Amino acid sequence: MTLSRLSIWLVAALALLALSACAVLQLPTFGRLPQGARLAAVEASPNYRNGAFQNAVPTPTSTDGTPFVVALVRGRFEPRDQPRPPIPLPTVKTDLRALPNDLDTVVWLGHSSFYVQLAGRRILIDPVLSDHAAPFPGMVRAFDGTTLYGVDDMPEIDYLLITHDHYDHLDHSTIRGLIPKTRWAVAGLGIGAHLEHWGFPAERILEGDWFDSVRVEPDFTVHVLPARHYSGRTLNRNQGLWVGFALEAGGRRLFFGGDSGFGPHLAQIAERFDGFDLAVLDAGQYNARWAHIHMNPEEAARAAEILKARALLPAHVGRFALARHAWNEPFHRITVASSGKPYDLLTPRIGEPIRVGDREQQFAAWWEGLDTLEPAAPSVQGPKP
């Protein structure tokens, strides 16, 4: 084969590869960037500058200057200290449909997914009910035993809250399944474009900027609050706003911080609210290379104190391995960091209900010694009397 013919074949192969990549990126799972009125709202935000959303303080995704995607991929091949549990995790499958609607409850569904009942409303936060947290099955697989809830297990949902659009927080198949049973969706600016693209009615999608409040009922408020992170499902970064949420209703106040590094936004939130009955904070999948965009357990403990939380529930743990640390290291470290603190540390099993405001409720250190135990079948639990 002559050099010119080889060049032609090489160019053709590269062109075919580029076309294939473009076709793949059109798949629904990748979502859609904001357009039209949604894009106009994004561009009008004071937090959107130079063509992208910006954190309130400088927040490089990589502390050593390495592009974050490169650092993440490189980290996947570095030595790890048991990133996945050796046996299926112990879980409790509470019947969510049977929980009394007047019982203020939080049920951890694994990682950063939560089912919440507050003042008679049913809320889902960042539900990922698939067995993977990636564009395609087989990638970023859930730990064995942790995919015990599906869309059919969910009751009718009043509010679906999405903190940002990363795959471990926003799952295409889960959202598609939830559309018929969900009244309202609330997200940061621009994130609603994914939901609308997947079939969620545009008139039922409510977007907010940092420190906006969403109220469609007089006695229930969703506050859209700052986080320190980033967004994007493809090569287009930071076209949707990453947020946390505070829920206020029935005399209670709950905070769900989403993915976030430690930062001054925590003190700003604390200044606006007189403490929280519960703070749910990013405390896992940390790495020194991306220290600005996730908290480690000690930082989560400090954040809970700053927020004047009466109880802390660690999130971003227990279902997917995205970092190098051992799967159960965050639980060990947050337990030590919370010793002697003014808040209660809550460590339920996946599916085990938390009674909001009940400071007598206790949870076992279920992650201890799992490598020496035989796995037990998941138990089934109904509502407490």
The pLDDT value given to residue 10: 54
Does the structure show a pLDDT above 60 at 281?
yes
All structural domains of the chain: 92-359+367-381 (3.60.15.10)
The pLDDT value given to residue 383: 33
Of 79-83, 88-92, 167-171, 357-361, the least confident:
79-83
The pLDDT value given to residue 62: 85
pLDDT digits (tens, 9 = 90+) for 239-276: 999 999 999 999 999 999 999 999 999 999 999 999 99
Whole-structure pTM value: 0.90
The pLDDT value given to residue 220: 97
What is the mean predicted confidence (pLDDT) over 275-290?
96
Query: Where residue 77 falls among pLDDT bands split at 50, 70, 90?
Result: low
**CB-based contacts of 29: which residues, under 8 Å, 6+ apart?**
135, 136, 172
The pLDDT value given to residue 173: 97
Query: Where residue 369 falls among pLDDT bands split at 50, 70, 90?
Result: confident
Q: How far is CA 115 from the centre of its chain?
A: 12
**Residue 366 to residue 145: CA distance in whole angstroms:** 14
Of 5-14, 60-69, 337-346, 373-382, the least confident:
373-382
The pLDDT value given to residue 153: 98
What is the mean predicted confidence (pLDDT) over 131-143?
94
Instruction: Please provide the average confidence, as pLDDT, over all residues in the chain.
Output: 90
The pLDDT value given to residue 27: 84
More confident call, 51 vs 371:
51
What is the mean predicted confidence (pLDDT) over 36-57?
98
Query: What percentage of the chain has pLDDT greater than the value 70?
Result: 86
- Using CA atoms of 204, 257, 285, 300 in order, give the dihedral in degrees to the nearest 10: -170
What is the mean predicted confidence (pLDDT) over 71-76?
61
The pLDDT value given to residue 63: 84
